[in-house]
Chains A and B, each alone.
Chain A
Amino acid sequence: MSQTAAGALTPESADGSGPPADNYLTHAHGVRSWLFTLDHKRIAVMYLVGILGSFVLGGVFALLVRTELIRPGPTIMSKDMYNHMFTLHGAVMIFLFIIPGIPAVLGNFALPLLVGAKDVAFPRLNLASLWLWMIGAVFFVVTLHVGGLDTGWTFYTPYSTETPSAVIPAALGAFVLGFSSIFTGINFIATIHKLRAPGMTWFKMPLFCWALYATAIIQVLATPVLGITILLLAAERVLEVGIFNPKWGGDPVLFQHFFWFYSHPAVYIMILPGMGVISEVVAVFSRKHIFGYRFIAYSSVAIAVWGFLVWGHHMFTSGMTPLAAMIFSALTFSVSIPSAIKVFNWLATMYKGSISLATPMCYALAFLFLFGIGGLTGLFLGTLSTDVHLHDTYFVVAHFHYVMFGGAMIAFLAGLHYWWPKITGRRYAERWGQLGALLTFLGVNLTFFPQFILGSRGMPRRYYDYAGLLDRHPDFQQLHVLSSIGAYLTAVAITVVLGTLIHSVFRGRPAPANPWGGATLEWQCASPPPYDNFASTPTAGDPYAVDEFEYDPAIDGYVRRSAPNPPGPCPVPSHD
């Protein structure tokens, strides 16, 4: 796809309004120029292709699971196959899609542009990260072919040490993907520390950079623990080292501590960059300066650090002691504070703003609604007494899908649509984009809202059959049907979204340098950006001074108010 994209864009005008003839897509040709590139923008595009492929694969697994559950008893697959399907859905979506999703695609593309740099600090490490992602993906494909995986994405012992399914290839895949994620994190921290343009102090950085920085802290501090946990699991299966196996005096609950020390902070790896995207989108499409800049910035770091203190809330029913459970429950409540700070600041940004319902903003509004529900239902689960009732029910499934799909995925789509004109140099059809956002919003709600009801009434997660529950809860049938219909609607919505975006690559109008009126530095270079991003190092001003830009119908984009000429391929000098 990338190849064709490059090809389709080549013969464009260089008159300043359309894509410049020499940009990062056309700078070099051939497969090798992509696979061995050190350009952060090309690496981001390759990540995008891979990640969307994984998303589609994981989505197919989800559709199969929902189809199986459309009526009680066997529908389309065996019980065993069902266990494989929900496991692979979770593993592919989490390890291959959501964790690298926003940082490796949008972060990789935008971060150096946002801070006014020519590349990330370590371009080779960035390429290595992409290659490790590909190797990880290959491990998952191997897993599919040599017996699948039926442990659930959490690899809980002791089942994962006993099952005949292909735990080791999947575990090694997750291990490799972990290092891919670590490399991205190291790169981003070093880039933000050392490569900011002159004038860009910490508090003049776009909030997406703050979010990526906070994410990178988690990637660096938490992911190694996943690595060693997974190595121990593999050693358990191959060598019988017994650390997690009661047979040799080991402790399976210890595995859960190890696993969640990574995997709870990993939840914030998934959502924090999404929050950063929303901060950008809300300000630009409200045509207002972001409200509470410092609070949003600090809250990102607070979430990153606080996120390390709450992992035990996954283990309230695992035999944890009441003392530890109370500590973890109290800490879990307090982590909701920085998230709420962000939401209130976004709302305050929109207040009295001149809101334009362009596609990215539609996603941002959907994010606020869905993340609100996802976040608030988390409090039910952080409460010890209610969690005992709700643990391992569909309530949990609905909660984290509202956060992961309604939060991370919607924010990914918001960011993808926001930066799409910059990435491809093309504009997508706005109406179709909005339709895709609306359908996605409806689909997600229809899929997951019934699951809250199912879960609160006792429908356990990961069950193949619910015939035995229908005597007491006959309405479970309808709720499952509604949820499955929602899944199909979401599939239609994603088809519309991807169709719109792919169509724009071939048929879209050329995008101006600044289609939305953003004040961050990436909008100062051409769409798509030249190979080197900035011909001369730009000087940064206030990233949210959006009122300094006005719409110019001649180029269907925004220009600086005082500037007599529209911005060309070179950055506009500083303003203060």
Chain B
Amino acid sequence: MIEGIEKYEITQNFKIRVVKSKKFKTDLIGLFLLRPLNDKEASQLALISRLLTRGSMKYKSAKLFNDKLDEMYGAVFISDVVKYGEKITMHCKIQFPNKRLVESENILQESMKFLKEAVFNVYHDGNSFNSEFFEQEKLKLIEEINSRVNDKITYAVDRCIEIMCEKEAFSVYHYGSVETVKSLENEEVYSYFTEILKSSPIDILTIGDMDFDEIHKLVIKNFSDVIPAEVVEIPCQQFCEEEKEVKYVSEKMNVNQGKLTLGFRTHIRYDDPLYEPAVLFATILGGGGNSTLFRNIREKESLCYYIFSKIEKFKSVMLIASGIEIENYDRTLKLIVEEVDKLKRGEFTEDDINVAKEVLVSSVKSLTDYPNSFINYYYSRELTGSEYNENRIIDEVMNVTKEEIMEAGNKFILDTVHFIKGDELNENQ
């Protein structure tokens, strides 16, 4: 339950959102910094997000930094980057137990101060990051990017996107690339960081049992000297390089199970009236145990254990992903495409629609149970220029008709079919 949300627009580039919810044991403060997505910026931001956890001018080592968090009753500080279509953000958040539950009257004040210190006072020596930290984190980030293949389910979907959108910024991996990270120089990244802190949109979102006015004053007190002065437009290239023919790409990896991913262009942006119908189309198709893909490809044909579809909200793309026996590639692909076509022809029931609506409405309502997900969702709504209004969001879903779902689905065009298969098979796929 949300008791209220207060907004403070300090400048066009620095906003505060205070979400009041008393049911949680913790409070959460998040700082979001927005940038355009490209390989260079993603690589730099990913590296910076890791350097922030290594130490600040006040806590000059990871040990001192983490000792301080432990003392604040195991407060958790995270910083990471997240992709929103052709934009990218750095999220820095601190979560800590609410003061009513611990013997620390000032835990909120201390946490706010810590967040400011961690982001705006990183360990540096005038014009560069601590050089040891910088070189170490560079190597770690390269390792991390290389290790993404270990999570085959996510990797398969990411690869399909990379191939499908190879000429678009969206294909950039959110941690950038090994080559670019390797080439980064300390002074260059440090100067980039100090520059973007001054010129990028920054949002502070909090959620918990905290007083509106108290948060407002605390943010101003701690951040007044770093409020970005210049208003800078974040350039956002939003274009699609459409192929006329479906791309079929298969890659060999050391796997037991083949990973099949289909990428569709939906041609429906998040602010299009057909966006909700498009989401319903994807939900009826592959959103859980009642979906047509689950019922047919898994339950009826026993071809897979997992299969799902999802819409990339910020990129007008739908993906279908599954893990299958490598030799079942042709048959599964044919059956999946048939299921998509059946929905396009309207071969689904009112019951299917109602179930899909229930799924979406439940997920909107239950967002308020998860503090971190809630502020992420709230932030992403604001990025699309739409307000968070639970009732309106639910109405928008509930009012969708079967015709609209078909109309949306018929704009979906298959763009790329990607398959990861084992080493031993020949390439005639």
Partners in one complex: no
